[in-house]
Amino acid sequence: VQLQASGGGLVHDGGSLRLSCAASGFIFTSYLMTWFRQAPGKEREFVAAINGNGRITDYADSVNGRASISRDNSKNTAYLQLSSLKPEDTAVYFCAAKPQTAILYTRPSSRESKYWGQGTLVTVSS
Protein backbone atom coordinates (compact mmCIF):
# COMPACT_ATOMS: atom_id res chain seq x y z
CA VAL A 1 0.00 0.00 0.00
CA GLN A 2 1.33 3.41 -0.92
CA LEU A 3 0.11 6.98 -1.03
CA GLN A 4 2.49 9.32 -2.77
CA ALA A 5 1.77 13.01 -2.27
CA SER A 6 3.34 15.59 -4.55
CA GLY A 7 2.89 19.08 -5.90
CA GLY A 8 3.92 21.19 -2.96
CA GLY A 9 6.28 24.11 -3.28
CA LEU A 10 6.91 27.77 -2.64
CA VAL A 11 4.31 30.22 -3.89
CA HIS A 12 3.55 33.87 -3.29
CA ASP A 13 0.54 35.15 -1.43
CA GLY A 14 -2.45 34.76 -3.75
CA GLY A 15 -0.87 31.99 -5.78
CA SER A 16 -2.14 28.52 -6.62
CA LEU A 17 -0.97 24.95 -6.40
CA ARG A 18 -2.36 21.56 -7.27
CA LEU A 19 -1.44 18.71 -4.98
CA SER A 20 -1.65 15.12 -6.13
CA CYS A 21 -1.93 11.88 -4.21
CA ALA A 22 -1.20 8.72 -6.15
CA ALA A 23 -2.49 5.54 -4.53
CA SER A 24 -1.58 1.92 -5.00
CA GLY A 25 -2.07 -1.38 -3.25
CA PHE A 26 -5.74 -1.06 -2.30
CA ILE A 27 -9.14 -0.69 -3.96
CA PHE A 28 -9.10 3.05 -4.49
CA THR A 29 -12.83 3.47 -5.09
CA SER A 30 -13.61 1.88 -1.73
CA TYR A 31 -11.82 4.59 0.15
CA LEU A 32 -12.69 8.10 1.11
CA MET A 33 -9.72 10.35 0.36
CA THR A 34 -8.81 13.16 2.67
CA TRP A 35 -6.27 15.95 2.81
CA PHE A 36 -4.98 17.08 6.16
CA ARG A 37 -2.33 19.67 6.91
CA GLN A 38 0.00 20.44 9.76
CA ALA A 39 1.60 23.81 10.24
CA PRO A 40 4.74 24.24 12.34
CA GLY A 41 3.89 24.03 16.01
CA LYS A 42 0.24 23.21 15.36
CA GLU A 43 -1.88 20.11 15.36
CA ARG A 44 -2.82 18.31 12.20
CA GLU A 45 -6.10 19.61 10.81
CA PHE A 46 -8.67 18.53 8.27
CA VAL A 47 -8.62 20.33 4.92
CA ALA A 48 -10.89 18.48 2.51
CA ALA A 49 -12.37 15.08 1.74
CA ILE A 50 -14.01 13.30 -1.17
CA ASN A 51 -15.97 10.08 -1.20
CA GLY A 52 -15.28 7.06 -3.34
CA ASN A 53 -17.32 8.03 -6.38
CA GLY A 54 -16.40 11.69 -6.12
CA ARG A 55 -19.94 12.93 -5.63
CA ILE A 56 -19.49 14.14 -2.06
CA THR A 57 -16.90 16.72 -1.11
CA ASP A 58 -16.27 18.43 2.17
CA TYR A 59 -14.08 21.40 3.06
CA ALA A 60 -12.77 23.03 6.18
CA ASP A 61 -14.08 26.54 6.70
CA SER A 62 -10.54 27.86 6.42
CA VAL A 63 -10.21 26.77 2.77
CA ASN A 64 -13.83 26.72 1.63
CA GLY A 65 -14.09 28.64 -1.61
CA ARG A 66 -10.33 28.47 -2.18
CA ALA A 67 -9.86 24.71 -2.44
CA SER A 68 -11.21 22.04 -4.72
CA ILE A 69 -10.78 18.35 -4.07
CA SER A 70 -11.22 15.81 -6.85
CA ARG A 71 -10.25 12.30 -7.79
CA ASP A 72 -9.59 10.34 -10.95
CA ASN A 73 -10.48 6.76 -10.15
CA SER A 74 -9.06 5.58 -13.48
CA LYS A 75 -5.67 6.83 -12.30
CA ASN A 76 -6.05 6.02 -8.59
CA THR A 77 -5.20 9.62 -7.83
CA ALA A 78 -6.72 12.33 -5.68
CA TYR A 79 -6.07 16.02 -6.13
CA LEU A 80 -6.31 19.19 -4.10
CA GLN A 81 -6.38 22.45 -6.00
CA LEU A 82 -5.51 25.39 -3.77
CA SER A 83 -5.97 28.95 -4.90
CA SER A 84 -5.77 32.41 -3.36
CA LEU A 85 -3.17 30.97 -1.05
CA LYS A 86 -2.32 32.84 2.13
CA PRO A 87 0.75 32.65 4.37
CA GLU A 88 -1.40 30.88 6.96
CA ASP A 89 -1.86 28.03 4.48
CA THR A 90 1.82 27.17 4.93
CA ALA A 91 1.96 23.58 6.16
CA VAL A 92 2.84 20.04 5.29
CA TYR A 93 -0.13 18.59 3.45
CA PHE A 94 -0.90 14.92 3.88
CA CYS A 95 -3.26 12.73 1.94
CA ALA A 96 -4.99 9.89 3.71
CA ALA A 97 -7.38 7.09 2.87
CA LYS A 98 -10.24 5.89 5.02
CA PRO A 99 -12.30 2.79 4.25
CA GLN A 100 -15.72 3.92 3.11
CA THR A 101 -17.92 1.69 5.23
CA ALA A 102 -20.83 3.95 6.15
CA ILE A 103 -23.72 4.83 3.87
CA LEU A 104 -23.86 8.38 5.16
CA TYR A 105 -20.82 10.60 4.87
CA THR A 106 -19.17 11.86 8.01
CA ARG A 107 -16.07 14.02 8.10
CA PRO A 108 -13.09 11.72 8.66
CA SER A 109 -10.73 12.24 11.53
CA SER A 110 -7.02 11.52 11.53
CA ARG A 111 -7.59 8.45 13.66
CA GLU A 112 -10.04 6.96 11.17
CA SER A 113 -7.65 7.17 8.23
CA LYS A 114 -6.01 3.86 7.49
CA TYR A 115 -3.33 4.83 5.01
CA TRP A 116 -1.18 7.97 4.89
CA GLY A 117 1.07 9.63 2.39
CA GLN A 118 4.39 11.12 3.36
CA GLY A 119 3.31 14.75 3.08
CA THR A 120 4.20 17.55 0.73
CA LEU A 121 5.29 20.99 1.94
CA VAL A 122 3.40 24.07 0.85
CA THR A 123 5.05 27.39 1.69
CA VAL A 124 3.25 30.64 0.98
CA SER A 125 5.36 33.76 1.14
CA SER A 126 3.90 37.17 1.89
- The 10s digit of each residue's pLDDT in 2-27 is 999 999 999 999 999 999 999 999 99
pLDDT value of position 42: 97
- pLDDT tens string 74-104: 999 999 999 999 999 999 999 999 999 877 8
Mean pLDDT, the chain, whole residue set:
96
pLDDT value of position 103: 79
pLDDT value of position 101: 86
Instruction: Please give the C-alpha separations between residue 117 and each of 1, 37, 87, in angstroms, as whole numbers.
Output: 10, 12, 23
* β-sheet bridge partners, residue 32: 98
Residue 37 has pLDDT above 90, yes or no: yes
For residue 117, give the 3-state DSSP assignment.
Answer: coil
Spatial CA neighbour of 53 closest among 20, 28, 17: 28
For residue 105, which amino acid is it? Y
Q: Averaged over 32-38, what is the pLDDT?
A: 98
Residue 115 has pLDDT above 90, yes or no: yes
pLDDT value of position 57: 97
- Chain centre distance of CA 110: 12
